[in-house]
Amino acid sequence: MKFTRGGLAAVLAGVTLIASAVPLKTDVAHSSVSAVFKQMNVPVESKFKSFNAQIDYDAAHPEKATARVDIDTASFDIGEAEYNKEVAGKDWFNSAKFPKATFVSSAIKPAGAGKLSVSGKLTIKGRVQDVTFPVTIKPEGGKQVFEGQLPIKRLAFNIGEGEWKDTSMVADEVVIKFRVAAGQ
Reported as a pLDDT band with limits 50, 70 and 90, residue 11 is: very low
DSSP E strand stretches across the chain: 8-9, 23-26, 31-39, 42-48, 51-56, 66-72, 76-77, 100-110, 115-124, 127-140, 143-153, 170-183
Residue range 52-63: mean pLDDT, rounded: 87
Reported as a pLDDT band with limits 50, 70 and 90, residue 53 is: confident
Rounded to the nearest integer, the mean pLDDT of the chain is 87
Other CB atoms within 10 Å distance of the CB of residue 43: 10
Q: Tell me: pLDDT of 154 over 70.
A: yes
Residue range 67-89: mean pLDDT, rounded: 95
DSSP 3-state of 162 = helix
Residue range 10-27: mean pLDDT, rounded: 51
Reported as a pLDDT band with limits 50, 70 and 90, residue 9 is: very low
Nearest CA among 53, 61, 48 for reference residue 25: 53
Reported as a pLDDT band with limits 50, 70 and 90, residue 22 is: low
Q: Tell me: pLDDT of 68 over 70.
A: yes
Residue range 154-176: mean pLDDT, rounded: 95
Q: Can you give the pLDDT at residue 28?
A: 78
Structure pTM?
A: 0.84
**HEC sequence for 91-143:** CCCCCCCCCEEEEEEEEEEECCCCEEEEEEEEEECCEEEEEEEEEEEEEECCE
Torsion region of 85: left, alpha or beta (phi above 0 gives left; psi -120 to 50 gives alpha): alpha
Q: What is the pLDDT of residues 82-137, one digit of tens each?
A: 999 999 999 999 999 999 999 999 999 999 999 999 999 999 999 999 999 999 99
Reported as a pLDDT band with limits 50, 70 and 90, residue 12 is: very low
177's CB contacts (< 8 A; 6+ apart) are 32, 33, 34, 35, 36, 45, 148, 149
